[in-house]
Amino acid sequence: MYCNKKTSTGDNMNKKVIIASDSTSDLGAELHRRFGIRILPLGVNLGGKLYTDGVDITPDDIYRHYADHKELPKTSAVNMADFADFFKEYTSQGYSIVCFTISSQMSSTYNNARMAAEEFENVFVVDSGNLSTGAGLLVLRACEMAKEGRSAAEIAEAMEELKPRVSASFVIDDLEFLHKGGRCSALAAFGANLLRLKPCITVKDGRMGVAKKYRGAFGQVLSSYVKDQIGDGSDIDLSRVFVTHAGCDMDIVNACVEGVKAAAPFKEVLITRAGCTVSSHCGQNTLGVLFIKKTPLE
């Protein structure tokens, strides 16, 4: 789903395209610079103070606060005024904009962006239907299309075909954050921890659900998870894969990267750190392998 109320007749000729995303795409500063991505950060309410995701608060700050106070943050959507200011800044310079947001099923960010975009020409807001680097995969492909000279309208339309092919999943080591955040009952969390169960969370149709429950030590579970996700690689677009984690031990992360490389000949394997939104919901030891398939998810 993407929206654009006003499109000037010159859009197909306008090759000055800005690609933007809210901060939940978890691409990191290096990829932002490399691809020229503009980021609109979500708010993070913690300890009675309002912070800006990735600007003056990090996931490690959240973990330290939780260890000391047993309090989780609440994230807040990018508001309409911030979107409007951003759209005005770049459209006034002659740019078209393709702006990605976290799934509309998970946040009001998309609706805020959609309503703000109604006042501008050549602003396309894309509901990624995803989170973290599931959305990030779309953002990077959009950047590549913009570099190829494609118009904002063409890019936004192409994303609708690409969205159902994004495979986004994560394995969670400990359910404490999900339980504290009200997304998992105390009984379920206790039972999972007792049995050493590690749920695999997948995203489909914009919503998160449990696909499989692994059992055992986190590192061993991740080895099985990587093999399950990639399979023989025949239905995967091998251009790019993300290994995205929420502060895992780097030995575990690197082992997963090697497992990914051994499973399929990806052209690019990118490691990213999950930002405040995913980290505050899932907790520190969370890791996912995310890529685009050749066919839509079943």
Task: Please write the tens of the pLDDT for every residue from 211-249.
Answer: 888 989 999 999 999 999 999 999 999 999 999 999 999
Q: Which of 163, 185, 201 corresponds to the end of one domain?
A: 163
Instruction: Kindly state whether residue 50 falls inside one of the protein's structural domains.
Output: no
User: How far, in Å, CA of 293 to CA of 12, rounded?
Assistant: 28
Alpha carbons 141 and 143: distance in angstroms, whole number: 5
Residue pair 283/66 in contact by the 8 Å Cβ criterion = no
Specify the pairing of strand 17-22 against strand 96-101.
Answer: parallel
**What average pLDDT is seen over the chain?**
90
Point out the domain boundary residue: 142, 163, 184. Answer: 163
**27 with 103, same domain?**
yes
- Of 99, 128, 163, which residue is a domain's last? 163
State the CATH number of the domain containing residue 142: 3.40.50.10170
Question: Is residue 242 assigned to a domain?
Answer: yes
Which residues are within 8 A (CB) of 70 and not within 5 positions of it... i.e. 6 or more apart? 180
Residue 67 lies in a domain: no
Domain check: are 206 and 287 in the same one? yes
Asked, for residue 49, whether it belongs to a domain, the answer is: no
Looking at the fold, whether 123 and 244 belong to one and the same domain comes out as: no
One domain for residues 9 and 143: yes
Domain that holds residue 214: 168-293
CA distance 245 to 224: 16
Instruction: State how many domains the chain has.
Output: 2
Q: Which pLDDT score, from 0 to 100, does residue 174 have?
A: 77
In this prediction, residue 282 has a pLDDT band, given cuts at 50, 70 and 90, of: confident
The answer to whether residues 92 and 234 belong to one domain is: no
Whether residues 100 and 195 share a domain: the answer is: no
In this structure, are 178 and 240 located in the same domain?
yes
pLDDT band at 1 (very low <50, low <70, confident <90, very high): low
Q: Note whether 195 and 284 are same-domain residues.
A: yes
Query: Residue 54: phi, psi to the nearest 5?
Result: 80, -5
- The domain that contains 278 carries what CATH number? 3.30.1180.10
Same-domain pairing of 147 and 238: no
Residue 184 has pLDDT above 60, yes or no: no
Instruction: Please state, in angstroms and rounded to a whole number, the distance separating the CA atoms of residues 41 and 27.
Output: 12
The predicted model scores a pTM of 0.91
Residues 13 and 126 in one domain: yes
Q: Are residues 149 and 186 in the same domain?
A: no
Is residue 57 one of the residues assigned to a domain?
A: no
Per-residue pLDDT averaged across 134-146, rounded?
A: 98
